Amino acid sequence: MRIDEYRKYDGLGLAGLVADGEVTPRELLDCALGQVKSIDPRLNAVVRVMSEQADDQLTRPLQGPFAGVPFLIKDLSQDYAGLPTSSGSRSLTDLPMPEHSTVVQRWLDAGLVIFGKTNTPEFGAKGITEPAVHGATRNPWDRSRTPGGSSGGSAAAVASGIVPVAGANDGGGSIRIPAACCGLVGLK
Active site residue 150: yes
Among residues 86, 89, 151, 174, which one is catalytic? 174
CB neighbours of 57 closer than 8 A, spacing ≥ 6? 108, 113, 114
Q: Is residue 174 annotated as part of the catalytic site, yes or no? A: yes
Neighbours of 33 (CB within 10 A): 18
CA gap 164, 160 in Å, rounded: 9
Contact by Cβ (8 Å): 98, 90: no
Residue of 87, 89, 150, 151 marked catalytic: 150
Name the active-site residue from 74, 117, 154, 160: 74
**Positive or negative torsion for Cα 88, 94, 100, 105:** positive
Q: List the beta strands (DSSP E) in 37-103.
A: 46-49, 70-74
* Residue 74 bears catalytic tag: yes
Task: Kindly report whether the peptide bond that precedes residue 150 is cis, defined as omega within 30 degrees of 0.
Answer: yes
Mind telling me the catalytic residues?
Answer: 74, 150, 174
